[in-house]
Amino acid sequence: MSNTPILQVENLSKHFDVQTGLLRREKKTVKAVTGLNFDINVGETLALVGESGCGKTTTTRLLLRLQTPTAGQVRYDGEDIFQLKGAALKSYRSRVQAVFQDPWSSINPRVRIHDFVSEPLIVNEKLSSSEVDRRVHEALDAVGMRPQDARKFPHEFSGGQRQRIAIASAIVSRPRLIILDEPVSGLDVSIRSQIINLFKDLQAEYGLSYILVAHDLATTRYLADRVAVMYLGQIIEQGPVDDVFDAPAHPYTEALLSAALSADPTEARTEIPMNGEVPSPLNPPSGCAFHPRCHRRLGAVCDVKSPTLQAYGPHHSVSCHLHDRQPTA
């Protein structure tokens, strides 16, 4: 694992204006994500975990430049991606790719596999058609599909095969970073393990970096090197996956892990009960956003003051008043 970041996210925020009320007169702001800071290094996998509505998806859409941020920057090779134009943008587009959750909806049913897989090449690079063919075959081969599959249409494949095809399209332009948005949660157990293995193999072979968005913690543990736990649009804990999973610092991470069911009947499980549900991002709680559900609530400080992300261990940071006075190691 190299320490050169390929993507640096600085203070990234995205807020949406929503009109509510009887006459839609009241304007409210949904803070989808606020003040995100993280890096992704070459060959590394960073996982974003959290419940639905925590801002994972918005983050990926920002990184993919499908949306523009309210504030903050995303630097790719030192340049803010939201300022990229022309050739530089094309370069970013072909170097950063994505794989989505639903293998049924992420492939255009009307397009042949060849055309689907080759699209990132066609729109970003000027290659001869034979070169494109070669690259498509190479990519299909890498994901375990046959070259003759390129002539077929998506409906001729099963879900697992479609996900392989989606991955082929993501790697065809030889990207450096792939954003994996719940890439296995729509797959059957036996297929899921194949795809997880495939991701690991591709990473090893091409030195890819991944940003993984997942709600399945076990999958995250298998794929990720580092993990960022998000709650209501903010990162509340970040660190190496084993550290975080073995010794979660934030009560939310703790509760999240305790809720996950292990596929081992012998393993003892102590579930930490969380009160209620995730609050609406329209009306986020004051102070620490997690305080109404927190089982380790300290008192008034949690209700009033929002904690900041601070170092907790080596490469491990957390945003919680519990650890306010702890010295940085």
Tell me which residues in 222-251 interact with another protein (CB under 8 A).
222, 245
155 binds another protein (CB under 8 A): yes
Q: Which one among 4, 85, 126, 263 touches another protein, defined by CB under 8 A?
A: 263
Contacts (CB under 8 A) with another protein, residues 30-59: 51-52
Buried b (16+ CB within 10 A) or exposed e, 111-138: eebbebbbebbeebbeeeeeebeebbbe
Q: Cβ closer to another protein: 218 or 322?
A: 218
127 binds another protein (CB under 8 A): no
Which residue carries 């997880």 as its tokens? 196
What number of other Cβ atoms are within 10 A of residue 48's Cβ? 27
Which of 20, 108, 148, 308 touches another protein (CB under 8 A)?
Answer: 108
| Contact stretch for another protein (CB under 8 A) within 29-37, 94-102, 126-134, 314-322 | 94-102
Both tokens of 281, joined, read 């991002």
> 51 vs 305, which CB is nearer to another protein?
51
The two structure tokens encoding residue 61: 């859409």
3-state secondary structure 212-265: EEECCHHHHHHHCCEEEEEECCEEEEEEEHHHHHHCCCCHHHHHHHHHCCCCCC
Closest among 50, 62, 49 to 14, alpha carbons compared: 62
Q: Shortest approach of another protein to residue 130 CB, angstroms?
A: 21
Return the exposure string of 254-267: e unless at least 16 CB atoms fall within 10 Å of the residue's CB, then b.
bbbbeeeeeeeeee
Interacting residues with another protein between 159 and 218 (CB under 8 A): 159, 166, 169, 173, 179, 186, 188-190, 192-194, 196-197, 200, 215-218
Candidates 38, 76, 100, 312: give the one binding another protein (CB under 8 A).
100
**Residue 72 makes contact with another protein by CB under 8 A:** no
- Supply the DSSP string of 97-154, one letter for each residue: EEE-S-TTTSS-TTS-HHHHHHHHHHHH----HHHHHHHHHHHHHHTT--GGGGGS-G
Is position 14 an interface residue for another protein (rule: CB under 8 A)? no
Q: Does 96 bind another protein (CB under 8 A)?
A: yes
Q: From the CB of residue 101, how many other CB atoms can be counted at a distance below 10 Å?
A: 20
Number of residues written out for the chain: 329
84 counts as binding another protein under rule CB under 8 A: no
- Using the minimum distance from each CB to another protein, give the nearer residue, 105 or 326: 105
Helix, strand, coil tally for the chain in percent (to 5):
35, 25, 40
Paired sense of beta strands 71-76 and 177-181, if any? unpaired
119 touches another protein by CB under 8 A: yes
Position among 2, 104, 207, 315 found at the interface with another protein (CB under 8 A): 104
**Least distance (Å) between residue 51 CB and another protein:** 4
Among 85, 110, 126, 325, binds another protein (CB under 8 A): 110
Rounded to a whole number of angstroms, the minimum distance from the CB of residue 278 to another protein is 8
Asked whether position 294 contacts another protein by CB under 8 A, the answer is no
Work out the number of other CB atoms within 10 angstroms of the CB of residue 213: 26
Q: Is 90 in the site for another protein (CB under 8 A)?
A: yes
**Interface pick for another protein out of 64, 213, 228, 244 (rule CB under 8 A):** 64
Among residues 97, 163, 203, 317, which is the contact residue for another protein, using CB under 8 A? 97
